[in-house]
Structure 1
Amino acid sequence: MKEETKDWNGKHIAISRTDSIGDVLLTLPITAWLKEKYPTCKITFFCRNYTAPIVKHYESVDDIVKIDDLLTLPKKEQIDAIESLNLDAVVHVFPKKELAKLFKKALVPTRIGTSHRLFHLNTCNIRPNFTRKKSPLHESQLNFELIRPFGLSQIPSLEEVSKYTSSFGSEKEELPPEFDSLIGKKYVILHPKSQGSAREWPIEKYIELAKQLIVKDYEVVFTGTEQEGKLFRKEIPTDASSYDSTGKLNIDQLIWLIKNASGLVACSTGPLHIAGFLNTKAIGLFSPRIPIHPGRWKPLGKHSTPLIFDSNCEKCMAKKECDCISSISVETVLNEILK
């Protein structure tokens, strides 16, 4: 039987995406498509422990396996754990050799992984042939290439993919007492760092933006990890309308804070994509360089705006060292927030 003609209703499908928050969010729409086409299929998402709180908010996912926990088990127990799920298929969206071997040893019948990983020759029996690096498609669209074996004939447009962000919700979360007063107020979240995953706008521009927002009667919240906070905490304005939440929020609290914000400003990193999924105004600061340009990584959602300084930057086009993202002006970002 050809995979394209198989009815996957009632079947159990695993999606494996084991990298960061933004990557996981841009993978979730394929689960919504699968549920739309096969309403009675079951979907289990394999992800890192720290991204599990993101996945749990997406209604198309039925169950989650935290791979950090799974991989601490003895090898036989890892295989037994996967066998116990009675999976019919697995889609390796993010190739991981160790997991690919486990799914094969667990005898999952349909194992899908890109042909561009040598280890998939021995571990996957369906190997779609496409390339991400030079593709004009958005990352979320590229993920759909891997589910063609389920009967997908055409990659959806970015607008069609964006409709699947409505499946992302958030229950009310209790915030630390110092941030309770923000809910109901007009506030903007500034997320200056990216843990090295993206080109970053200078911290001094975030600080200047914060000062100008405060003048415009906005509250301003700086977010990030504890380690990131140490890099800029001393520069945060001491005004009563400025808040430092770095290292103080868990993922669920961060989601709730973003959901209620007037906007969020960040480079290409997880919180920007969370804002996009929540339809909070998401202003992303990007380089035009391939493959980190906004055409590949801009946030989904109805209120998302990617900003670049020069779409035809000669250095970026020539793949030379360039910091043109630093030239995006504070005024440009402020105007987008105030629209």
Structure 2
Amino acid sequence: MKIPKTILISRTDNIGDVVLTLPMAGIIKKYFPDILIGFLGRAYTKDIIESCVFVDEFIDFNDFLNKSVSICGKRIEAIIHVLPDPVIAKRAFFLAIPQRIGTTNRIYHWLYCNKLIRLSRKNSDLHEAQLNLKLLSCLSIHQQFSFPEIYSSYGFCASPALPESLHAQISKDKFNVIFHPKSKGNGKEWPLEHYIALAKLLDKDKFNVFITGTKQEEPKLEILFSQIGDLVINLCGKLSLKVFVSFIANCDGLVASGTGPIHVAAALRIHALGIFPSIKPIHPGRWQPIGQNAYTFCNQTECNLCKKQISCECMQNIEPNAIAKKLEELYLLKFPVK
């Protein structure tokens, strides 16, 4: 395959999926520094994609379908369909992008792509980020990348600076930790009563606790605020995505289930404490946060409710004490006993 001068990475789903795809841009730049990289995504994830120093241009999904697009003014020479999508595959074909890379297990890729890679995610033991990188075999990059190689390739940085009113809420004398309890229904969630118990376990003189989420999720957290409102700071619906990324970067840790912010935290190298079920394919082996300060909590026994509802027994069995113990260890790393 001829090495293209421009490559479009297509991943048009959620924040966590996008974050775990960003190392692809970093690794392409490592092997081929002069390639210009575009990233095709939804407007919702634009701020995440533009936070990656290895992405030269964000291209909006709707613009790609309806307009003539380029990467930094240059023709798109290759597209990698990281997330298979028949509409995008067909559009890339009719735009006559010279190199169109997809996987063999999508029938429409046989119609619209001219470079097919055998890749099955369903039964693989590899992490999602490692599976993404398998698609780079189209560039003769066949290495299986380790987690350290992946997190060193994020190229993820936070901007802009926090508003002073928000920055003032971050304590210099405490461990600032974010609880992000909800997942917009995209994953298994740790029970709210466990977040409540965790907040009560943490010493208020040591920990500054923030609750984040969307405005739509705030009513679902009413029981949490009614019981521990005096122990936490409610930021639900008060932060744009760009400001939220900067806020995460300025905190010390984040606790969440398998949702986008846990991957953002890991990419920003703060302490990311991810809580996961054991059932495949949503287990930590596939979706754990990847970072030098990432930690995973998982009950190894599957329950019968894992496939049926957002909260289940194997998530309930992950004790708040385990998270509190880890946060206490991290507090002592920040403030060593003299």
**Structure 1 and Structure 2 fold alike (TM over 0.5):** yes
Give the conservation status (yes or no) of the 8 Å contact 2:303–2:313. no
Q: Structure 1 residues 211, 69: closer, same or farther in 2, change over 3 A?
A: farther
Cα distance change of structure 1 residues 192 and 104 upon mapping to structure 2, 3 Å threshold: same
Q: Aligned AA for 2:46? A: A
Aligned length: 323
Q: Determine if the alignment matches structure 1 residue 110 to structure 2 residue 95.
A: no
- Alignment of 1:325 onto 2:315: yes
Show structure 2 runs of 5+ residues with no match: 330-338
Is the 8 Å Cα contact of residues 82 and 106 (structure 1) preserved in structure 2?
A: no
Counterpart selection for 1:26 from 20, 25, 31: 20
Q: TM-score, normalised by structure 2?
A: 0.90
| Displacement after TM superposition at 1:34 (Å) | 0.6
Which residue pairs with 2:260 in the alignment? 270
1:299 aligns with 2:289: yes
Residue 131 of structure 2 aligns with an amino acid whose one-letter code is: L
The TM-score with structure 1 as length reference comes to 0.89
Residues 158 and 316 from structure 1, CA distance in 2 versus in 1: closer, same or farther, beyond 3 angstroms? Answer: farther
Match of 1:148 in 2: 137
Q: Secondary structure in 2 aligned to 1:81?
A: coil
Percent identity between matched residues is 35
Note if contact 1:14-1:45 (Cα within 8 Å) is conserved in structure 2.
yes
2:229 partner amino acid: T
Residue 182, structure 1, aligned to residue 176, structure 2 = no
Mapped partners of 1:160, 1:58: distance in 2: 16
**3-state secondary structure, aligned to 1:14:** strand
Q: 2:218 aligns with which of 216, 229, 233?
A: 229
1:256 aligns with 2:246: yes
- Residue 129 (str. 1) matches residue 118 (str. 2): yes
2:248 pairs with 1:287:
no
Q: Which deviates more from structure 2 when the two are superposed, residues 174-183 or residues 85-94?
A: 174-183
Which range is displaced more, 61-70 or 244-253? Answer: 61-70
Partner of 2:336: none
Alignment partner, residue 80 of structure 2: 91
Which residue in 1 is equivalent to 2:158?
170
Are 1:238 and 2:229 matched, yes or no? yes
| Partner Cα separation in structure 1 for residue 241 and residue 100 of structure 2 | 31
Note the C-alpha offset of 1:173: 2.8
Displacement of 1:178: 5.6
- Indicate the larger mover: 181-190 or 254-263: 181-190
- Whether contact under 8 Å (2:298, 2:315) holds in the other structure is yes
Find the partner of 2:147 among 152, 155, 158.
158
1:53 deviation in Å? 0.3
Change (3 A) 1:126 1:243: same
Q: What is the CA deviation profile of residues 120-139 of structure 1, one whole-angstrom value per residue up to 9, with x for unaligned ones?
A: 11111111111101101000
Residue pair 1:173, 1:252 contacting (<8 A) in 2 also: no
- Structure 1 stretches of 5 or more lacking a match? none
1:24/1:204 CA distance change after superposition, 3 Å? same
Query: What per-residue deviation string (whole Å, max 9, x for no partner) do you get for residues 267-293 of structure 1?
Result: 000000000001110000001111111
Contact map agreement 1:89 1:109 (CA 8 A) in 2: yes
Root-mean-square deviation over aligned CA pairs: 2.1
Mapped to 2, the partners of 1:304 and 1:81 lie a distance apart of 37
How many Å apart are 1:209 and its aligned residue? Answer: 1.1
Shift of 1:242: 1.6
Q: Where do 4+ consecutive residues of structure 1 move more than 6 Å? A: none
